[in-house]
C-alpha cells in the first residue's frame, strides 16, 4: 500500500501513515528493566536492516532498546562493525552485552534519564584527546559521559578475559545513541557513523554528521599511537587508507584508531574509549541514521538523508538505504567485493496511524498530504516543498567515497606470534592511565 505523509502540529514534521501492527512481535526480546530489544525489522519510529557482503559471513550487528533502563520513551540504538577472523563473534557479543552494562552503570550511578533541566549544551562534543573542553561541559553531561566510558571499558575488559572469543586480532567498532525526548547522546568508537537529518531553510533534507570517523591519521589519534610506539602508514596499493601497524611487524594494518578487542594493538595506541557528544534536538530534526562503513564508503551524508527521506514507508527506509549502497558498490567499484552493510534509521517524530489519519480527515493517497485542521497554511506549504524535494535523487550527483575510507578489509594481515594467547595475561592489568596516555 502506498503511504501518505502527514504533519502534526505537536511534532512539526513529516510523519508517514503506518499500519498499526507494523511491529513484528517475534523480532522483540526482553531486556533489562523491562526494555524491549529489537535486533532487526521495524517499529513505529525505527527501521533496521543489514545485508551480508561478498567477504564471507556478515560481521555487522545492530540493536535497539526501547524503554532503556526502564525509562519510558528512552531509546538506545547501536551499530557494530566486526573485523578479523572472529569479528562476527565480537560484534554480536558486544551488541548483546554492552547495552546491559550501560543500563546497569546508569542505574547504579543514579542517573534517571536524559531529561535534566541543567543539561543545556547544544552540540557539545567531547574531544579531550585534542584539547580540554571540560570548562564548557555541564556536570550532568559529564556524568553521562563518565558512565558511557565506564561501560565501554568494562566491555573491553570482559572481552579480554573471555576464553570463548578470540579477540587477539579481531574486534568491532561501535556507534551508539541514547535518546529521550529532545536529548541525544552519541558515543563513537571507530569508523562507523551517525548522521542527523534536519530540514533546511527551503525544507530540503540537510545532513549533520554527529560523529568523527576515528581513523589512525587524525592528529589526536596519531599522536597517541605514536607515543605508544604504534606505526601509521598507507600502502602503495591503498595510498588513501592509513592503517595502524605493530612497531616491528607490518601487521595487522587496522583501518581505525579505536575499537573493542584487537588486543594485539592495545599496547600500541589502539583504545576502547568512545568519543561522547551531546545534541539538543529541535523541531527541524527529522531522523538519525546509524550505519557501518560499508554504507558510508559509497554514499555521502547528503545522499543518505535524501534516500531515507524519499522512502515511501518508514519501515522500509533502512532496507532501501542498504540496497542503494549495494548498487553503488557495484557501480563504483565493480572489481571490489561488496562490504557488509548495516543501518538503523531512528525517526524523531511519531508517525500517524490509520486511525489517527482518519480522525484528521486523511485520505490514503500518495499524492496528498494528511494535514490536521490548522490555520497555519504557510507551514503546510513548506512541508509539501520538503516532501517534494526528498522524493528523488539527483541523477547528476556523483557517488562520493569519503576521504580515508577503506574499500577492502579493516585488517590487512594477522601477526605471527609464537604464543598469541599470552596477551590474556597482560590484558588483566589495570590500563586506566595507559588508555589515554600510553
What CA–CA distance (Å, rounded) separates 342 from 193? 11
The pLDDT of residue 29 is 80
Q: What percent of the chain has pLDDT over 70?
A: 68
Q: How far apart are the first and last CA of the chain?
A: 57
258 DSSP assignment: B
pLDDT band, very low/low/confident/very high, at 324 (cuts 50, 70, 90): very high
What CA–CA distance (Å, rounded) separates 200 from 101? 38
Cell numbers given for 190: 571507530
Mean pLDDT of the 87-113 span: 89
Total-model pTM:
0.76
The pLDDT of residue 210 is 98
The pLDDT of residue 112 is 55
Which position has the higher pLDDT, 139 or 364? 139
**Quick check: 14 and 7 in contact, CB under 8 A?**
yes
Q: Which residue has the cell 489519519?
A: 357
Residue 237: is its pLDDT beyond 70?
A: yes
Q: For the CA atoms of 233, 237, 238, 242, what is the dihedral angle to 10 degrees?
A: -10
Instruction: Please enumerate in sequence order all residues whose Cβ is within 8 A of that of 31, keeping only pairs 6 or more positions apart, or say none.
Output: 37, 65, 68, 99, 100, 103
**Quick check: 337 and 43 in contact, CB under 8 A?**
no
Instruction: Please enumerate in sequence order all residues whose Cβ is within 8 A of that of 240, keeping only pairs 6 or more positions apart, or say none.
Output: 234, 403, 404, 405
The pLDDT of residue 23 is 53
Residue 410: is its pLDDT beyond 50?
A: yes
Q: SS3 string of 207-251?
A: EEECCCCCCCCCHHHHHHHHHCCCEEECCCCCCCCCEEECCCCCC
DSSP, collapsed to helix, strand or coil, labels residue 117 as coil
Residue 264: is its pLDDT beyond 50?
A: yes
Cell numbers given for 220: 589526536
What CA–CA distance (Å, rounded) separates 411 from 246? 12
DSSP, collapsed to helix, strand or coil, labels residue 161 as helix
Q: Which helix (H) or strand (E) holds 35?
A: none
Cell numbers given for 19: 499500519
For domain 20-355+401-437, the CATH superfamily is PPM-type phosphatase domain (3.60.40.10)
Q: What is the DSSP string of 1-32?
A: ----EEE-TTT-SEEE-B-TT-S-GGGEEE-G
The pLDDT of residue 408 is 52
pLDDT digits 0-9 by tens, 370-384: 333 333 333 344 444
What CA–CA distance (Å, rounded) separates 292 from 213? 11
Q: Closest Cα to residue 73, out of 18, 10, 115? A: 115
Residue 153: is its pLDDT beyond 80?
A: yes
pLDDT band, very low/low/confident/very high, at 268 (cuts 50, 70, 90): very high
Residue 399: is its pLDDT beyond 60?
A: no
Q: Which helix (H) or strand (E) holds 195?
A: strand 193-199
pLDDT digits 0-9 by tens, 39-97: 888 888 899 999 988 878 999 999 998 988 888 889 999 999 999 999 999 999 999 99
Which position has the higher pLDDT, 262 or 111? 262
Instruction: Please enumerate in sequence order all residues whose Cβ is within 8 A of that of 128, keeping only pairs 6 or more positions apart, or say none.
Output: 134, 436
φ, ψ for residue 179, nearest 5 deg:
-125, 135
Amino acid at each position: 500500500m502506498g503511504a501518505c505523509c502527514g504533519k502534526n502540529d505537536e511534532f512539526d514534521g513529516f510523519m508517514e501513515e503506518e499500519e498499526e501492527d507494523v511491529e513484528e512481535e517475534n523480532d522483540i526480546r526482553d531486556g533489562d528493566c523491562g526494555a524491549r530489544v529489537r535486533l532487526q525489522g521495524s517499529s513505529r519510529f525505527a527501521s533496521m536492516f543489514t545485508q551480508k557482503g561478498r567477504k564471507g559471513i556478515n560481521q555487522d550487528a545492530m540493536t535497539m532498546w526501547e524503554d532503556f533502563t526502564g525509562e519510558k520513551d528512552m531509546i538506545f540504538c547501536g551499530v557494530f562493525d566486526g573485523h578479523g577472523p572472529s569479528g562476527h563473534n565480537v560484534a554480536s557479543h558486544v551488541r548483546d552485552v554492552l547495552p546491559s552494562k550501560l543500563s546497569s552503570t546508569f542505574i547504579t550511578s543514579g542517573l534517571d534519564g536524559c531529561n535534566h533541566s541543567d543539561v543545556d549544551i547544544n552540540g557539545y562534543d567531547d574531544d579531550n584527546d585534542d584539547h580540554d573542553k571540560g570548562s564548557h561541559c555541564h556536570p550532568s553531561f559529564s556524568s553521562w559521559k563518565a558512565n558511557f566510558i565506564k561501560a565501554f571499558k568494562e566491555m573491553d575488559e570482559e572481552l579480554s578475559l573471555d576464553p570463548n572469543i578470540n579477540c587477539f586480532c579481531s574486534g568491532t567498532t561501535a556507534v551508539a545513541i541514547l535518546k529521550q525526548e529532545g536529548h541525544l547522546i552519541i558515543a563513537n568508537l571507530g569508523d562507523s557513523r551517525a548522521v542527523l537529518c534536519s530540514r533546511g531553510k527551503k525544507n530540503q533534507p540537510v545532513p549533520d554528521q554527529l560523529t568523527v570517523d576515528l581513523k589512525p591519521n587524525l592528529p589526536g589519534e596519531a599522536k597517541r599511537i605514536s607515543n605508544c610506539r604504534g606505526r601509521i602508514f598507507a600502502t602503495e596499493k591503498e595510498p588513501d587508507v592509513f592503517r595502524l601497524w605493530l612497531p616491528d611487524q607490518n601487521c595487522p594494518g587496522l583501518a581505525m584508531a579505536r575499537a573493542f578487542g584487537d588486543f594485539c594493538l592495545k599496547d600500541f595506541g589502539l583504545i576502547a574509549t568512545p568519543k561522547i557528544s551531546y545534541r539538543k534536538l529541535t523541531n527541524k530534526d527529522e531522523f538519525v541514521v546509524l550505519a557501518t562503513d560499508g554504507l558510508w564508503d559509497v554514499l555521502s551524508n547528503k545522499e543518505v538523508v535524501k534516500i531515507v527521506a524519499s522512502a515511501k514507508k518508514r519501515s522500509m527506509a533502512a532496507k532501501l538505504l542498504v540496497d542503494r549502497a549495494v548498487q553503488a558498490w557495484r557501480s563504483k567499484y565493480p572489481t571490489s567485493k561488496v562490504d557488509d552493510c548495516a543501518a538503523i534509521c531512528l525517526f524523531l517524530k511519531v508517525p500517524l496511524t490509520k486511525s489517527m489519519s482518519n480522525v484528521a480527515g486523511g485520505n490514503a493517497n500518495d499524492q496528498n498530504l494528511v494535514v490536521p485542521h490548522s490555520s497555519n497554511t504557510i507551514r503546510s506549504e513548506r512541508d509539501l516543498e520538503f516532501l517534494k524535494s526528498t522524493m528523488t535523487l539527483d541523477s547528476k550527483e556523483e557517488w562520493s567515497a569519503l576521504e580515508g575510507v577503506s574499500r577492502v578489509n579493516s585488517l590487512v594481515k594477522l601477526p605471527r606470534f609464537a604464543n598469541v594467547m599470552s596477551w590474556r595475561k597482560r590484558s588483566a592489568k589495570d590500563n586506566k592511565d595507559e588508555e589515554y596516555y600510553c
